[in-house]
Amino acid sequence: MLVVAFVSFSLFTFVGDPVHNMVGQETSDEERGEIRETLGLNDPIPVQFIRFVSNASRGNFGISYQLRRPVSELIAERLPATLELVFISSLIALVFGTLLGVYTGINRKSFVSDIILAVSLLGVSLPTFVIGILFIYLFAVILGILPSFGRGDVIEIGFWTTGLLTISGLKAIILPSVTLSLFQMTYIIRLVRAEMMEILQTDYIKFARARGISEKSIQYKHALKNGLIPVITIAGINIGTLVAFSIITETVFQWPGMGFLFIQAVKFVDIPIMSAYLVFIAFIFVMINFIVDILYYFIDPRIRVKSESANG
């Protein structure tokens, strides 16, 4: 339900947009009028909307104004690049973020924790593009061991192109994915840390200690389990944010993904691409939320098993 609401909302605004603006400023009024007619812009809004939705569900997003190619083709080309990048990044962010977050949450006073926290704070203050530039400069220009742009060689599997199966592809993905993951990783570290610290103060942890359960067991069994719950929600939003931030990373590293496409579209006000991108993003987000809800169901028994406060 939310899907429909969200999607239709954002798209509707686009359909209503004065698309005519970007059809070249030299075009005469009559020509503009014609183009509007072909694009169906003179039809009443609800009709346009319905047409849009029906087209969209069939994968037809129209033709890019700027590149003059069907949008769906463009997207299909770029999608794998972005998805691979996002996937690797989120993996890095989640795994390292959680590990470090747990460590700093448990060992509140250690020196190592302080260093990790300081670095994480730095990470939040470094805009992604600065990190990207830094990395490029360091690894590509000075050290010259990793490529500074592009995706390396790719292998086609069906309609999917993957860079993960080639050496150069793997090399190429390292810098962008680490760059992309850094911002999120620091966020996760802080979140997990806050969670762990709060949990370690609860009554049930105190009671477990009173029963003589070892500190290690308390930390890794009791506290951790409870601490992971909010991380799952965050992980979901995380991936969404990564997709968005990939725009930046792709621009810096000239990674041929959807983000890069989108930026160009914004610059040239290429509406079909913009709206198509949005539909995709919306779709991805909804999917993620859905998966997170399902995961919650499995992890938190309070949701899974209804409470029987009447009995007992």
- Choose one: 28-36, 50-58, 90-98, 202-210; the region binding other proteins (CB under 8 A): 202-210
Q: What is the Cα–Cα distance from 89 to 110, expressed in whole angstroms?
A: 28
Q: What is the Cα–Cα distance from 143 to 138, expressed in whole angstroms?
A: 6
Q: Residue 173, interface with other proteins (CB under 8 A)? A: no
Q: Which residue has the tokens 């966020």?
A: 187
The only residue of 26, 30, 125, 143 in contact with other proteins, by rule CB under 8 A? 125
Q: Residue 27, interface with other proteins (CB under 8 A)? A: no
The only residue of 174, 197, 291, 295 in contact with other proteins, by rule CB under 8 A? 197
Phi then psi for 69, rounded to 5 degrees? -130, 155
- Choose one: 37-45, 81-89, 91-99, 123-131; the region binding other proteins (CB under 8 A): 123-131
β pairing state of 160-162 and 155-157? antiparallel
Radius of gyration, alpha carbons of the chain: 24
The tokens describing 254, both together, are 């000239």
User: Considering beta carbons, is residue 166 or 254 the nearer one to other proteins?
Assistant: 254
- Give me the least distance between CB of 178 and other proteins, in Å please: 18
CB 244 within 8 A of CB 251: no
Q: Residue 202, interface with other proteins (CB under 8 A)? A: yes
Q: Residue 212, interface with other proteins (CB under 8 A)? A: yes
- Give me the least distance between CB of 162 and other proteins, in Å please: 25
- 301: alpha, beta or left, given left = phi > 0 and alpha = psi -120 to 50? alpha
User: Considering beta carbons, is residue 158 or 301 the nearer one to other proteins?
Assistant: 301
- Give me the least distance between CB of 249 and other proteins, in Å please: 11
Q: What is the Cα–Cα distance from 265 to 20, expressed in whole angstroms?
A: 15
Q: What is the Cα–Cα distance from 283 to 290, expressed in whole angstroms?
A: 11
- Choose one: 37-45, 98-106, 125-133, 160-168; the region binding other proteins (CB under 8 A): 125-133
Residues 277-306 that bind other proteins (CB under 8 A): 278, 281, 285, 289, 299-303, 305
